[in-house]
Structure 1
């Protein structure tokens, strides 16, 4: 398997931040919607496998399929961008305004795509509301409760727990993005990106985009969870935890040790991409 050195990967992430900053609103929203839906597909696949085998580890092994498709197609996932966009800020080649624009638009796209898949999956599993959805629906309802009122039931300890699990989650998820850049081959990207995603999912950490699907899907299926519960006890603290995990433990940490001196190649592309980003914004 071909392999890129860490210095090359971090330089590539700086370049990626420039490319992402130059994307127009339509591209960010469409690519974000596709990513949200694809993670929804991966989530229902993992839940179905867990229900069928009664082995959660099997679900964790196959869950990364959706993420790998996102990596191979170069789509937009806000949790990955919580690490990749700040690389450009640390290198001084994009502004924080450009980063926040990307995060807001991609978050919106991820949410829309997740809700679209949730609605379509609800139709599929309940036959347009004529059935209860069986064991898979029951598992989704249980997950939705555990991720919201389950944390609320233990007060401040629940909020600290969900925030911490979000940090740990996106430490691994953003490494999935990084590892996907360590190879030029399709096989290399698949294997490298799979490993950190498997690690996060197998341990039940909290991912903002996965939760954009699984919690509203639980609500659609009749879980005793409100939309307020979803946002207050999960989506908001998980999003900020994912930002901390990706920005600090992947973006900042890797930039400090490998990217404080961008390669000549990255320096050469900075003026060109900076002009493109300014024109878009």
Structure 2
């Protein structure tokens, strides 16, 4: 077979969680910033392809942008990076397999989230604002997307975050199943493309698009609005990656232990 079995992948991801828990703070931080950079660059490509397309193209415009967005996850998978949303599944599997403790999970989620957001904000400022790639002719699209994210109520942002991370963690899972370079890319690409087309909210991606709108000085969005969005989208992403994917994966891949039956009158057990 040119792919790993579900049992092999779940076990390997649990081992991966153990490796992540042993990384130094400096290494986790650098890898977190890298991941934030890559995801933001994928979102930047989305803005550049959709920003000046005719409005009557409708959802086809979003589809074209969604085809480019996954390059961020592909890059961090092969080059290196710690992504908070993917770790929501991976670290949960590590806890469930008793390979790491809960405090290691929480520490990883917190540090990686903060550094991911830092990476996204840097791209928004340096490439979006200083270079101007999200402004000028593309500013209307930038503002429209960012305001759409902020406009969601806390409940909508939370539920949207759940939907997003089901797809993102599915991409991580399918990518881990592939044995070849192309197999991994196909596994990573399509679930991410679908979440973008659906318009779900991703806490790291939002760390690029919302600050990009703020840096343009053409939006009514404030940093407090961004922080509120981060909170509820993060919680939704966490639920989507852990409860909606990691827990079911453990359930369907864990083999039940064989029952022991006592032989009549002998006090001997067989499996």
> Contact (CA 8 Å) 2:167, 2:194: kept in 1 or not?
yes
* Partner Cα separation in structure 1 for residue 123 and residue 164 of structure 2: 22
Identify if the C-alpha distance between structure 1 residues 144 and 101 changes in structure 2 by more than 3 Å, giving closer, same or farther: same
**Which ranges in structure 2 are unaligned for 5 or more consecutive residues?**
55-60, 257-271
Count of paired positions: 249
**Which ranges in structure 1 are unaligned for 5 or more consecutive residues?**
127-131, 152-157, 262-281
Following superposition, the deviation at residue 133 of structure 1 comes to 2.3
Following superposition, the deviation at residue 256 of structure 1 comes to 1.3
| Partner of residue 203 from structure 1, selected from 198, 204, 212 | 198
Determine the structure 1 residue equivalent to 2:95.
89
> Contact (CA 8 Å) 2:50, 2:141: kept in 1 or not?
no
Determine the structure 2 residue equivalent to 1:125.
132
Following superposition, the deviation at residue 71 of structure 1 comes to 1.3
Q: State the TM-score, normalized to the length of structure 1.
A: 0.85
Following superposition, the deviation at residue 66 of structure 1 comes to 1.0
* Partner Cα separation in structure 1 for residue 21 and residue 93 of structure 2: 12
CA RMSD of the aligned region, Å? 1.7
Question: RCO (CA 8 Å, sep 6+): is it higher in 1 or 2?
Answer: 1
Partner SS, residue 85 of structure 1: helix
Following superposition, the deviation at residue 253 of structure 1 comes to 0.9
Partner SS, residue 116 of structure 2: helix
Question: Which structure has the greater CA radius of gyration?
Answer: 2
Cα displacement string for residues 83-109 of structure 1 (whole angstroms, at most 9, x for unaligned residues): 100111101111001111111111121
Determine the structure 2 residue equivalent to 1:183.
178
Determine the structure 2 residue equivalent to 1:275.
none
Following superposition, the deviation at residue 51 of structure 1 comes to 2.2
> Contact (CA 8 Å) 2:15, 2:99: kept in 1 or not?
no
Instruction: Please state if 1:160 is matched with 2:155.
Output: yes
Cα displacement string for residues 220-276 of structure 1 (whole angstroms, at most 9, x for unaligned residues): 0121101111112x1110000000000011111101111467xxxxxxxxxxxxxxx
Instruction: Please state if 1:29 is matched with 2:29.
Output: yes
* Partner Cα separation in structure 2 for residue 230 and residue 85 of structure 1: 26
Structure 1: 4+ residue segments shifted above 6 A: none
Q: Which has the higher helix share?
A: 1
Determine the structure 1 residue equivalent to 2:20.
20
Partner SS, residue 205 of structure 1: coil
Partner SS, residue 181 of structure 1: helix
Determine the structure 2 residue equivalent to 1:273.
none
